[in-house]
Structure 1
């Protein structure tokens, strides 16, 4: 049986759906029962557990021999870094108690970098803690989600260009649709585990994109308009590291890279008001 922690999210639901399509038994672990209906409709067993309650997670995972986990940030939480660190420890403790044979952890491009670069550094901490577990581990390091660019749609509609925090303009940056990442994760889980104790796989979309740069001094305000200042700081650090180079290519050349199929425009199209549907991005 496969247990998917965070099965109601875009990544988790795509993994769950793909596994069910393959005839696999799936236990969907989520914290909000109101999001259970579509998972129940595709035949998942539903279990409710809070990410920060390791005892409840042990019980929720139960006899599942394979577990997929993700550490989602909470934009509305005042101290997301502290909460994510608590989540790392809670998940690790739960996995130690449940003793699955295999785990797949959704991580981040840049988790190989040792100095503080914000969000990828939390994913590095996540990987380091999980590395202590006595089971087969897959760290699926993802490019940034295309869905995160949706908050730039109003500006894109007004100006005809998609603004970004990436710089310089001639650099192409990887991104991936979150459901594509879930499908890639399911495909990995459906394959036999390798002989390596730890596998590192990278995932990005079918091609890379350039965009119109938002000046560095404007980025803090742009992020903080849609999330807490502390989460904004984590993301600004990650963008700075990416813009300096070496974050997305150096380490991925030494490991497997998988590619999604969804183009950026197709991801953003549902977020665009109908009268602007012909917008070229």
Structure 2
């Protein structure tokens, strides 16, 4: 039995579905009972537990052979780092109670960097806390998700300009479709455990893309020219705070500064394994377009 914490999300569902297609029993752990229909349809056992309730989460995990966890980011939280660190402690506490045989944790590119570079730094703390838990641990660091561009699509379609925090616009960066990440995670869960207590694997898409590539893909999808345009650094805070809390905006500003600097939000220099998804950028963007 494999448990998937956060099985209703894009990554969790993709992992659960791949495991079920391989005839592996799956316990889908979700917070909201209203989101279990498609998990039941693929034959998952269902457990309801709030991530912030370590005891309930430990009970839901139970005596499974392996568990996949993901750290959610509440982008509207007034203190997003505080919320995420509390979630880390709750997850760790649950795992220490349940003691699963194997643990796969979804982490972030750049989590190896000790300096404060925004969101990857939260995952740096996540990985450090998980490192104190007994048992075999596999850290799957994910590149930025392609669907994050969905927030900019309405603006791009209305104005013909795709605003980008990636600068320069022709600089390629790692990104991955969330369903691909789930498929990669399922494959890692099903392979024999390494003799090492800790494994770190990176995951990104079939190739790297620039903001100009995103604009070109959107242009092809909508049948008219869309041009990428860098948002001036002085306007970042205002732009981010239109959609997220001030604390989240600060985290994202630090992350984008690190991405634009290069070499930080990337594969760790001595990494031995990188897995590649198969979904091209244009195919990940297509379902994000408004339905006609």
The TM-score with structure 2 as length reference comes to: 0.91
Report the more deviating stretch, 242-251 or 15-24: 242-251
Over 3 Å counting, the alpha-carbon distance change for 1:110 and 1:249 in structure 2 is closer
Cα distance in 2 for partners of 1:257, 1:6 equals: 24
What secondary structure sits across from 1:203 in the alignment?
A: strand
Aligned to 1:180: 180
Q: Deviation of residue 85 (structure 1)?
A: 0.4
Aligned match of 1:120: 120
What residue in structure 1 maps to residue 259 of structure 2?
Answer: 242
TM-score of the aligned structures, taking structure 1 as reference length: 0.94
- Does 2:231 match 1:251? no
**Unmatched segments (≥5 aa) in structure 2:** 212-227
Report Cα offsets for 1:66-99 as digits up to 9, x if no partner: 0100001012322221111000001001101101
The reply to whether residue 232 of structure 1 matches residue 249 of structure 2 is yes
1:15 offset after TM fit, Å? Answer: 0.3
Is the counterpart of residue 79 in structure 1 residue 79 in structure 2? yes
Q: Equivalent residue of 2:148, what SS? A: helix
Could you say what secondary structure the match of 1:171 adopts? coil
User: Which residue, out of 239, 255, 263, partners 1:222?
Assistant: 239
Could you list the structure 1 runs, at least 4 aligned residues long, displaced by more than 3 angstroms after superposition. Answer: 158-162
Q: Secondary structure at the match of 2:208?
A: coil
1:250 CA drift (Å): 5.7
- Matched position secondary structure for 2:137: strand
Task: Show structure 1 runs of 5+ residues with no match.
Answer: 276-281
Q: Deviations over 1:24-63 (max 9, x none)?
A: 0100011000001110111101100010100001100011
Whether 1:207 and 2:207 are equivalent positions in the alignment is yes
Give me the whole-angstrom Cα distance separating, in 1, the residues matched to 2:76 and 2:129.
26
CA RMSD of aligned residues (A): 1.4
Q: Is the 8 A contact 1:202 1:252 kept in 2?
A: no
